[in-house]
Amino acid sequence: MKHLSTILIAIVALPVTACRLQVKPRTAITAAPLTVDADSLCAHKKERLLCVYSKGKVAKQYHISLGGHPVGAKHFEGDNKTPEGLYHISAKNEHSKYHLSLGVSYPCDADRAYARKYNKSTGGDVMIHGLPNGTKLPDTAFTLTDWTAGCMAVNNAEIEELFAHVSVGTPIRIVP
């Protein structure tokens, strides 16, 4: 198991540096569709950016909205923070209350141990998802602010693209 963790870290660690160098302002991210399957993801909380990698190269970047208190790692249920660390896509949900969603494997053993030390729950159900079903507000009402309970949100067209090209098991690194 330790060997598998080392391999996953190696797979995701290299693209993290590359992604930081390619951060673009909100208006400059290309609208070209994602046409390749992802082999890893990296979310940069400070930049509000999700990078999709294919064959070790950035295939596409998406702006994301985070939890209402985005600074710092998620430790406890209800803290409105987005986790930080190495996880993987654990599920795909076509019937999510947020259009479509990709489950993130939070909490891991270390997250549970940290919360247990404080006699608190880690929470869970962290996802990359679209906008709330049935909303009549424009996408910009959601995409220009942090509004989730700890998830990463994109607009509905973007989650459809991600849903089609990200598989269960795909590693995701979430960095400050």
Domain spanning 2-22+36-175 has what CATH number?
A: 2.40.440.10
Please state the φ and ψ torsions of residue 113, each to the nearest 5 degrees.
-65, -40
Helix (H), strand (E) at residue 15 = helix 2-21
Q: Give me the pLDDT at residue 29, please.
A: 65
DSSP state of 78: T
Measure the CA–CA gap between 54 and 161, rounded to whole angstroms: 14
Measure the CA–CA gap between 105 and 137, rounded to whole angstroms: 30
Measure the CA–CA gap between 101 and 42, rounded to whole angstroms: 17
State the pLDDT confidence band at 30, using cuts at 50, 70 and 90.
low
Task: Tell me the pLDDT tens digit for each residue of 40-81.
Answer: 999 999 999 999 999 999 999 999 999 888 888 899 999 999
DSSP state of 28: G
State the pLDDT confidence band at 7, using cuts at 50, 70 and 90.
very low
DSSP state of 118: T
Domain ranges of the chain: 2-22+36-175
Task: Tell me the pLDDT tens digit for each residue of 131-160.
Answer: 999 988 887 778 778 999 999 999 999 999
Contact between residue 176 and residue 47 where contact means Cβ atoms under 8 Å apart? no
Question: What is the percent of the chain where pLDDT is above 70?
Answer: 83
Number of Cβ within 10 Å of residue 83's Cβ equals: 27
